[in-house]
Amino acid sequence: MLVIRLVSGPAGSDALVLPVRPGKPDSADSSGSPAELVPTAVAPGDDVRAESAALLPATRLTGAAGEVREHLRPGGAPARLWLLGVGSGDECDWRTAGAALARAAKDETQITIALPGEATEALRGLAEGLLLGSYRFRLTESGGRPALAEALVLVDDPEALAGTLDAARTTAEMTRLARDLTNTPSSTKNPEWFAEQVAGAASGRTGLHLRVRGPQELAAEGFGGILAVGGGSASGPRLVELDWRPDGARTHVVLVGKGITFDTGGISIKPVPAMKLMRKDMAGAAAVIAATLGAAELGLPVRVTTLAPLAENMVSGSAFRPGDVIRHYGGLTSESTNSDAEGRLVLADAMAYAVRELKPDLLIDLATLTGANAVALGKRHAALYSENDALAGDLLDAITAAGERAWRMPLADDYVEHLASDVADLHSSPAQGAGSVVAALYLREFTGDLRDRWAHLDMSAPSWSDDTHGELVKGATGWGVRGLLRWLATLG
């Protein structure tokens, strides 16, 4: 993986990167003026600066975030100059720029990037962008395309910025972990394998505690939803409980993540196009696990318990059936008429367990829960549900600041009547519209006295990207890790 280091003096890389931004709008000409150089903390040297300034009009750069141009300087030092559009210069634009740079400069071994004097936001964005934009998932080591090896970041006070770089690096590494888990084929990542990955990542860190429940413990303790959904698979279900418990923490957050390692739909089987990407149906679990590992890595002073119910929703003689009644942890029952609405059944168990046994201050769940998320909001936004305006606002702020996107949706009581069942406490999959809303209303039934301290994020849509753009690379996005870490960092 790309190494990023802070330096205060010119490091002699063959390639120097200078930021550029939109020039002053030209009042006489609506097409605007060319990009201008951004003043940097450590000046690149008069000759390089003058040459770059003279060059700018001919490059036709506008300064928009993510524009990149290479300029060759035969015999010069540096031998190659990269001009990088950083737009407004805020963190998000720097993130976009960093990702574009990582891709454009993939044939370089080492680059040096000069940052402006006020470097905190720029560094955070740049480092995350470089690390996320250069991500690629491969199952084999051989045959990889070249990638940038080292980025030196030129600032005036490296020591003062070390913490910022650490936060960015941890955030990006954990996002990459979530992407890796989500991209991994389901033939590899059965529930047992996923739990082993968590154990490996958590081992040796003080303050982190892990408990993994297998089918027998789940049965003994009454986790009927996880057992029903996992019952059709040759690979038994697990419940991962990962606890980051720092000394002196005053707030306790429980994060729950849907961990369906493959979703065939079960007996209510999905058609081919809907099934082909269902290895991503554990992206919620991957995100909450990675965020918790990140909280531990950064030593955030907040207790975080993460629950990842893991199951494979398969078709077999032992699969649960439409019309089955499931008894969840704590005793509530669900009539399930569609085995493809499996996510809410495993989440219900985990949430009921959190409310009854862990009694946290706040409860957040992340899930690739419904196709309706994308119908309502398109491919980039998660759907956020909460009865708590302050909590919803804080989460949206953190998610946005981290460069992710979510949109608040209503827990509209109009649809609650559809959750009624003739034979059970709840009907888990009423067949009518408002799919994402109804799923959220169903989950709300398991929040007990945490009802107004709970938020649900349906992240089916943004968990995957169909193409490479900005800091996203085609495939799993790791959605949620960045926003959750930002949010956790605001809690004391």
Site string for ligand BES, 393-432 (x = CB under 6 A): ------------------------------------x---
Of residues 341, 350, 426, 457, which one binds ligand BES by CB under 6 A? 341
For 356-384, the DSSP string reads III--SEEEEEE---THHHHHH-SS-EEE
Three-state SS at 267? coil
CB atoms within 10 A of CB 337: 17
* Sign of the dihedral defined by the CA atoms of residues 457, 459, 463, 469, in that order: negative
Q: What is the chain's Cα-based Rg?
A: 24
Of residues 93, 312, 342, 471, which one binds ligand BES by CB under 6 A? 342
Give yes or no for a contact between 236 and 193, defined as CB atoms under 8 angstroms apart: no
Tell me which DSSP letter residue 457 carries: E
Spatial separation of the C-alpha atoms in residues 63 and 461, rounded to whole Å: 30
Which does residue 372 touch among Zn ion, Mn ion, ligand BES, none (CB within 5 to 8 A, set by kind)? ligand BES
Q: Per CB under 6 A, does 460 bind ligand BES?
A: yes
* The token pair that represents 194 in the structure block: 């996923």
| Annotated catalytic residue, options 189, 258, 327, 344 | 344
Candidates 30-38, 147-155, 173-181, 260-268; binding stretch for Mn ion (CB under 5 A): 260-268
Of residues 59, 338, 388, 468, which one binds ligand BES by CB under 6 A? 338
Torsion of CA 51, 57, 63, 68, to 10 degrees: -70
Q: Based on CB atoms, which residue is closest to ligand BES, 144 or 271?
A: 271
* The token pair that represents 147 in the structure block: 């990638």
Site string for Mn ion, 340-369 (x = CB under 5 A): x-x---------------------------
| Annotated catalytic residue, options 73, 270, 408, 451 | 270
Nearest to 371 by CA among 483, 288, 274, 290: 274
> Is 106 one of the annotated active-site residues of the chain?
no
Candidates 25-33, 133-141, 224-232, 336-344; binding stretch for Zn ion (CB under 5 A): 336-344
Q: Tell me how far, at minimum, the Cβ of 409 lies from ligand BES, in Å.
A: 15
> Is 344 one of the annotated active-site residues of the chain?
yes
* The token pair that represents 464 in the structure block: 């995957």
Candidates 97-105, 165-173, 296-304, 337-345; binding stretch for ligand BES (CB under 6 A): 337-345
Site string for ligand BES, 362-381 (x = CB under 6 A): ------xxxxx---------
**Strand 208-213 to 238-244 pairing:** antiparallel
Q: Based on CB atoms, which residue is closest to Zn ion, 91 or 281?
A: 281
Q: Based on CB atoms, which residue is closest to Zn ion, 175 or 373?
A: 373
Q: Per CB under 6 A, does 230 bind ligand BES?
A: no
Of residues 343, 430, 470, 480, which one binds Zn ion by CB under 5 A? 343
Tell me which DSSP letter residue 268 carries: S
Which does residue 478 touch among Mn ion, Zn ion, ligand BES, none (CB within 5 to 8 A, set by kind)? none
Please compute, for residue 18, the number of CA atoms within 13 A of its CA located in the half-sphere on the CB side.
27
Q: Tell me how far, at minimum, the Cβ of 258 lies from Zn ion, in Å.
A: 7
Q: Based on CB atoms, which residue is closest to ligand BES, 294 or 343?
A: 343
Q: Based on CB atoms, which residue is closest to Zn ion, 67 or 263?
A: 263
Which does residue 484 touch among ligand BES, Mn ion, Zn ion, none (CB within 5 to 8 A, set by kind)? none
Give yes or no for a contact between 201 and 293, defined as CB atoms under 8 angstroms apart: yes
- b/e burial code for range 261-276 (CB count within 10 A of at least 16 → b): bbbbbbbbbbeeeeee
Three-state SS at 237? coil
Q: Tell me how far, at minimum, the Cβ of 479 lies from ligand BES, in Å.
A: 12
Query: What are the percentages of helix, strand and coil residues in the chain, rounded to 5?
Result: 35, 20, 40
Q: Based on CB atoms, which residue is closest to Mn ion, 63 or 343?
A: 343
Of residues 91, 93, 263, 312, which one binds Zn ion by CB under 5 A? 263
Of residues 245-284, which lie at the interface with ligand BES (CB under 6 A)? 263, 281
Give yes or no for a contact between 365 and 456, defined as CB atoms under 8 angstroms apart: yes
Spatial separation of the C-alpha atoms in residues 316 and 229, rounded to whole Å: 11
What's the longest Cα–Cα distance across the chain?
82
Secondary structure E strands in 24-117: 36-37, 68-72, 80-85, 110-114
Of residues 108, 263, 335, 365, which one binds Mn ion by CB under 5 A? 263
Applying CB under 5 A, which residues contact Zn ion?
A: 260, 263, 281, 343
Applying CB under 6 A, which residues contact ligand BES?
A: 263, 281, 338, 340-343, 368-372, 429, 435, 460
Active site residues: 270, 344
Applying CB under 5 A, which residues contact Mn ion?
A: 263, 340, 342
